[in-house]
Amino acid sequence: MRKPIKIRNAHFPGRAPIDSYGNGGFRFADMSHRGSLLMLPSGIYGWDMEEGDPLTVANFQRVFSEAAEIEVLLVGTGKDIRPLPAELKAQLRQHGVSSDPMSTGAAVRTYNIMLAESRAVAAAFIAV
């Protein structure tokens, strides 16, 4: 009898550039991940978001918990750019974090550059 597949909360305890993206996921640090990602100072986390899901304050709680170490949050909103809701932008500003929404592809490229420059950057990437 087979053991059931165990799904764990995805977490990579470090920072890494994104090597590639598409087909519903990302490749980084010689691994692949299906689904969306939060790239934070404490590591890389699976993020339960899909293209078109509302960008709510609740979906960014993990970002707020690390806001003291983040200057810029890049938000990859999927294939197309979507503006961040006013409530979310206000909460980020209140935590001292500037936000920049863009397509996921543009956000990945910008994140990789800022990470290479050792900037205090974080990212929320919705998988495409």
- Domain locations in the chain as residue ranges: 21-125
pTM given for the model: 0.91
Average pLDDT, the chain: 93
pLDDT at 7 over 60: no
Please give the Cα distance from 107 to 128 (Å, whole number). 12
> Residue 87: pLDDT band by 50, 70, 90 thresholds?
very high
CB-CB contact of 72 with 120 (8 Å): yes
CATH code that applies to domain 21-125: 3.40.1230.10
Pick the more confident residue, 93 or 10.
93
Neighbours of 48 (CB within 10 A): 10
Distance CA 116, CA 110 (A): 10
Q: Are 123 and 74 in contact (CB under 8 A)?
A: yes
What pLDDT, on the 0 to 100 scale, is given for residue 67? Answer: 97
100: how many CB neighbours lie within 10 A of its CB?
Answer: 15
- pLDDT in the model for residue 65: 97
pLDDT score recorded for residue 11: 78
Residue with the larger pLDDT of the pair 2 and 127: 127
pLDDT at 45 over 80: yes
> 3-class SS at 17?
coil
